[in-house]
């Protein structure tokens, strides 16, 4: 856990991004509502209530939900149905179906509220309330976890890419107010996060832990690559405004996004409570819009969970964690609807991308920012201060955060066969339709008319959300169009490896991993380790030997079946090989490492796996021969007692005399096939029996030859044939760690009983898996 000072600074960074997204949501939604009378609630009070609901929902999400460092905001998936509903309500009170003006004929008790902002907000809040109930139901039923388990790379890649691309119109809209300000913010963010990513300022010292030393070990420019540009550009704009320098150009399209009187007459303290502005209205139109909100926001949240884990190099969330997260989002939306806010709560894509950009994924800092949101929610005057953020800054924040989502989605294509014609069509078709359909419906919404207004609102709200279109089309086509598992990228799922061995030296390391069906290995020297450590751990500057020592301390307990509880491991298999991801800590900072293993050659598998297994098989055969000899000797002694006139104390023997030939036949014909067929094992037909006998007899003869030559000439070879590469020298083999699951260790010669002189005993094989 980072210090309180660092947590507060990171919380301020999350708060800046969250406030920018909240302002964008209200700036787009409020112009669709009727003009606000002087006695109706101010815009700053709406913003304060949204802060309050988001803060409570964030606390629930980080403590009881998915427990990811995710901030909750009203996402764009709430904005589109809310705008569709509010636009329909505003239009329906003043015009008929053809757009001509009509006179109101409603009864007197209802005419007072018709067309007012308060009434429309109550119906939008009703839709938010319905969305919370639907999300809570989906989480309790486990629908979210069920869908997340069936979302492979060909679903995640286009969905995450479209999540990022869906904000390009809003980003361009806000950047157009002043492209210079927006470009300045983006330029500073790129410099701080990329060019100065590993720079450490000597005057910025942060305490590493409670009671620990204070060291400048955190790259301050990268860690605050969103907050510093945000604050710097806002200060520049404030100075220009104070000097009366015109810097913001508002055309008629952006002039309507006005925060006029947003902070005037706003109270300093007002604790929000349910029903203060009237209870939410539950109508059929609100029901349709709420269902659309719940479906699209649930898809966005699942994508955000995957996105956050990918950016922070955390293991993928299990299904039950996804279900808990969706339940907490549903509770947050229920609270937001009861408070009268026009938007629910969902996982913030922008904040997750900002955490990935800064590599500062602290749940503690997110919880601090949530408490700050609760405080702002109880002070409309303080919340109204965020309305003075320049519009161009909002556009710059959208550009630098949602661009990370696009890149993360593209990175998922590496797990699938992107050269496949099937995958090319699925990706192209889903992404093209996700951008085409909302564009067409935004220009001609009247073309979608089923004859029942709630159904029109449901279809329009869903089809205008690109995330829903991409997720639905990609999920449907991925699970209906035929394709191999390797083609679909499903081999990249977690692989339960059975056995492994590693050797770490100052000059590099060698790693072997097997699932008892394939064997993978990686060999890296010190130079390769240093290069990879710079790529994965830009915040750490230690010697290569320290990395190797840390890897040894992490991997050796893992391979012996006793992994470190504070370290997470995940093993993924793709078409190109096997990847083992390690996440731990080093010097108080996150430590990441990726082992990129490829299939081991036949010579390596033979030396380190096959030959040790054959040696163990031979040792077991010799044990069987000893037991056979012992049984035959006992039978011979009993027969000798009988011939010498000895009498038994019992009438008859309970066991029959041991038949060696029948035992050998049953062992080859029944026992071995039954053992080999356990689980997913292969059968043991006669051809394999003959091969087994030939190999073991050859090994036995070779062992006898080495035994006789060793008595006359000295030590014999250790089992490797001439020409096989020497993977590890004998001095390194003593430091090898091998797993105990799936592989039986060969007992030492001192532990075996002495065999008869006519039988040769094989020497112990020296392999990584022995």
pLDDT digits (tens, 9 = 90+) for 385-398: 888 888 999 999 99
Instruction: Using pLDDT thresholds of 50, 70 and 90, give the confidence band for residue 743.
Output: very low
527, 546: one domain: yes
Region 20-37: what's the mean pLDDT? 77
* Tokens representing residue 163 in the block: 């999540």
Helices (H), 444-562: 453-463, 466-480, 485-488, 526-536, 544-559
pLDDT (tens digit per residue) in 744-769 = 333 333 333 444 444 444 444 444 44
pLDDT (tens digit per residue) in 511-542 = 888 877 788 889 999 889 888 888 888 777 77
Residue 370 CA to residue 372 CA, distance in Å, equals: 5
Residue 495 CA to residue 481 CA, distance in Å, equals: 25
Q: Which of 445, 463, 487 marks a domain boundary? A: 487
Residue 55 CA to residue 368 CA, distance in Å, equals: 9
Instruction: Using pLDDT thresholds of 50, 70 and 90, give the confidence band for residue 458.
Output: very high
Distances from the Cα of 520 to the Cαs of 315, 516, 612, 691, 723, in angstroms?
21, 11, 17, 26, 21
385, 499: one domain: no
> Which secondary structure element, helix H or strand E, spans residue 611, and what is its range?
helix 611-643
170, 291: one domain: yes
Residue 446 resides in a domain:
yes
Identify the burial level of 679 via C-beta atoms within 10 angstroms of its C-beta, where 0-12 means exposed, 13-18 middle and 19 or more buried: exposed
In the chain, the percentage of residues whose pLDDT exceeds 90 is 28
pLDDT (tens digit per residue) in 83-133 = 888 877 765 544 443 333 333 333 333 333 345 677 888 889 999 999 999
- For residue 728, pLDDT beyond 90: no
Instruction: Using pLDDT thresholds of 50, 70 and 90, give the confidence band for residue 54.
Output: very high
69, 126: one domain: yes
Residue 744 resides in a domain:
yes
pLDDT at 600: 87
730, 670: one domain: yes
pLDDT at 195: 85
470, 594: one domain: no
Region 566-575: what's the mean pLDDT? 74
Instruction: Using pLDDT thresholds of 50, 70 and 90, give the confidence band for residue 18.
Output: very high
pLDDT at 733: 41
Q: Which of 487, 522, 542 marks a domain boundary? A: 487
Tell me if 308 sits within 8 A of 352, measured CB to CB.
yes
Which CATH number fits the domain that encloses residue 505? Answer: 2.170.210.10
Residue 593 resides in a domain:
yes
Q: Name the least confident of 106-120, 448-462, 596-610.
A: 106-120
Residue 651 resides in a domain:
no
Q: Name the least confident of 15-19, 191-195, 456-460, 707-711.
A: 707-711
* Tokens representing residue 2 in the block: 């980072």
Residue 203 resides in a domain:
no
Tell me if 331 sits within 8 A of 60, measured CB to CB.
yes
pLDDT at 493: 46
pLDDT (tens digit per residue) in 669-683 = 777 677 666 555 556
- For residue 422, pLDDT beyond 80: yes
pLDDT, the chain, mean: 78
- For residue 570, pLDDT beyond 70: yes
pLDDT (tens digit per residue) in 696-725 = 666 666 666 655 665 554 444 333 333 333
pLDDT (tens digit per residue) in 608-628 = 777 887 888 888 878 888 888
Identify the burial level of 241 via C-beta atoms within 10 angstroms of its C-beta, where 0-12 means exposed, 13-18 middle and 19 or more buried: middle
pLDDT at 695: 67
Residue 35 resides in a domain:
yes
Residue 89 CA to residue 438 CA, distance in Å, equals: 20
pLDDT at 404: 94
586, 554: one domain: yes
**Residue found under tokens 């994508």:** 303
Q: What backbone phi and psi angles, to 5 degrees, belong to 566?
A: -85, 5
pLDDT (tens digit per residue) in 309-357 = 888 887 778 889 999 999 999 999 999 999 988 889 999 999 999 998 8
Pairing label, strands 589-599, 577-586: antiparallel
Would you say the C-alpha torsion 353, 355, 358, 359 has a positive or negative sign? negative
Strand partners, 590: 585
Region 286-307: what's the mean pLDDT? 93
480, 546: one domain: no
- For residue 253, pLDDT beyond 80: no
pLDDT at 749: 36
Q: Which range, 156-165, 489-498, 596-605, has the best average confidence (pLDDT)?
A: 156-165
Contacts of 355 (CB under 8 A, 6+ apart): 14, 69, 308, 311, 312, 361
18, 141: one domain: yes
Region 56-63: what's the mean pLDDT? 94
Q: Count of CB atoms within 10 A of residue 194's CB?
A: 12
557, 617: one domain: no
Residue 45 resides in a domain:
yes
pLDDT at 227: 93
Instruction: Using pLDDT thresholds of 50, 70 and 90, give the confidence band for residue 474.
Output: very high
Tell me if 19 sits within 8 A of 55, measured CB to CB.
no
Q: Answer with the residue of higher pLDDT: 325 or 743.
A: 325
182, 308: one domain: yes
Domain total in the chain: 3
pLDDT at 148: 86
Residue 522 resides in a domain:
yes
Print the domain residue range for 513.
494-600
Q: Which of 429, 459, 487 marks a domain boundary? A: 487
516, 441: one domain: no
pLDDT at 327: 94
In the chain, the percentage of residues whose pLDDT exceeds 70 is 74
């Amino acid at each position: 856990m980072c210090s309180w000072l660092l947590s507060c600074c990171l919380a301020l960074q999350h708060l800046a991004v969250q406030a920018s997204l909240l302002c964008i949501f209200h700036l787009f939604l409020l112009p669709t509502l009727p003009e606000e009378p002087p006695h109706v609630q101010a815009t700053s009070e709406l913003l304060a209530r949204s802060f309050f609901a988001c803060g409570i929902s964030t606390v629930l999400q980080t403590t009881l939900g998915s427990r990811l460092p995710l901030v909750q905001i009203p996402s764009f998936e709430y904005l589109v149905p809310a705008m569709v509903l509010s636009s329909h309500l505003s239009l329906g009170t003043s015009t008929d179906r053809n757009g001509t003006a009509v006179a109101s004929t409603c009864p007197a008790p209802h005419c007072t509220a018709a067309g007012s902002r308060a009434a429309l907000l109550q119906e939008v809040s009703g839709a938010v309330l319905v969305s919370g109930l639907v999300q809570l139901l989906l989480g309790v039923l486990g629908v979210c976890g069920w869908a997340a388990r069936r979302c492979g790379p060909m679903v995640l890649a286009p969905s995450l890419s479209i999540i990022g691309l869906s904000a390009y119109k809003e980003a361009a809209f806000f950047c157009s107010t002043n492209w210079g300000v927006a470009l300045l913010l983006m330029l500073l963010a790129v410099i701080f996060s990329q060019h100065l990513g590993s720079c450490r300022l000597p005057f910025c010292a942060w305490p590493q832990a409670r009671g620990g030393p204070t060291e400048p070990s955190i790259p301050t420019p990268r860690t605050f690559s969103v907050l510093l540009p945000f604050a710097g550009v806002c200060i520049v704009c404030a100075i220009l405004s104070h000097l009366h320098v015109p810097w913001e150009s508002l055309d008629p399209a952006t002039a309507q996004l006005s925060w006029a009187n947003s902070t005037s007459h706003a109270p300093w303290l007002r604790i929000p409570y349910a029903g203060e502005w009237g209870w939410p209205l539950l109508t059929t139109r609100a029901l349709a819009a709420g269902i659309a909100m719940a479906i699209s926001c649930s898809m966005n949240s699942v994508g955000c969970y995957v996105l956050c884990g990918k950016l922070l190099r955390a293991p993928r969330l299990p299904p039950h964690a996804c279900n808990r997260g969706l339940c907490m989002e549903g509770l947050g939306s229920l609270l937001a609807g009861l408070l009268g806010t026009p938007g629910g709560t969902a996982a913030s894509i922008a904040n997750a991308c900002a955490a990935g950009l800064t590599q500062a994924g602290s749940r503690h800092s997110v919880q601090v920012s949530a408490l700050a949101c609760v405080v702002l929610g109880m002070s409309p005057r303080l919340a109204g201060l965020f309305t003075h953020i320049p519009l161009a800054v909002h556009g710059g924040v959208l550009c630098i955060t949602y661009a990370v989502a696009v890149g993360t989605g593209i990175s998922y294509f590496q797990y699938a066969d992107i050269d496949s014609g099937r995958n090319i069509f699925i990706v192209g078709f889903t992404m093209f339709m996700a951008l085409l359909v909302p564009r067409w419906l935004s220009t001609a919404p009247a073309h979608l008319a089923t004859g029942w207004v709630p159904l029109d609102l449901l279809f329009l709200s869903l089809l205008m959300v690109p995330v829903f279109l991409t997720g639905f089309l990609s999920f449907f086509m991925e699970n209906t169009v035929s394709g191999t598992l390797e083609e679909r990228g499903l081999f990249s799922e977690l692989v339960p490896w059975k056995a492994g061995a590693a050797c770490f030296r100052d000059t590099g390391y060698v790693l072997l991993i097997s699932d008892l069906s394939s064997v993978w290995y990686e060999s890296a020297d010190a130079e390769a380790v240093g290069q990879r450590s710079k790529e994965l751990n830009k915040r750490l500057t230690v010697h290569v030997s320290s990395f190797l020592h840390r890897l040894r301390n992490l991997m050796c307990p893992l391979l012996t079946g006793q992994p470190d509880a504070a370290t997470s491991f995940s093993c993924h298999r793709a078409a190109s090989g096997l990847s083992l991801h390690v996440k731990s800590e080093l010097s108080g900072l996150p430590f990441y490492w990726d082992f990129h293993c490829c299939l081991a050659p036949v010579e390596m598998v033979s030396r380190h796996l096959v030959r040790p297994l054959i040696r163990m098989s031979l040792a077991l055969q010799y044990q069987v021969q000893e037991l056979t000899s012992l049984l035959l000797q006992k039978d011979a002694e009993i027969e000798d007692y009988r011939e010498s006139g000895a009498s038994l104390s019992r009438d008859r023997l309970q066991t029959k005399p041991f038949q060696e030939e029948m035992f050998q036949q049953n062992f080859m014909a029944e026992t071995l096939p039954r053992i080999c067929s356990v689980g997913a094992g292969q059968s043991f037909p006669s051809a394999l029996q003959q091969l087994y006998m030939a190999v073991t007899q050859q090994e036995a003869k070779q062992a006898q030859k080495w035994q006789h030559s060793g008595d006359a000439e000295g030590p014999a070879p250790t089992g490797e044939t001439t020409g096989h590469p020497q993977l590890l020298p004998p001095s390194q083999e003593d430091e090898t760690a091998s797993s105990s699951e799936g592989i039986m260790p060969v007992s030492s010669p001192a532990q075996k009983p002495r065999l008869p002189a006519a039988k040769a005993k094989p020497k112990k094989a020296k392999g990584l898996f022995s």
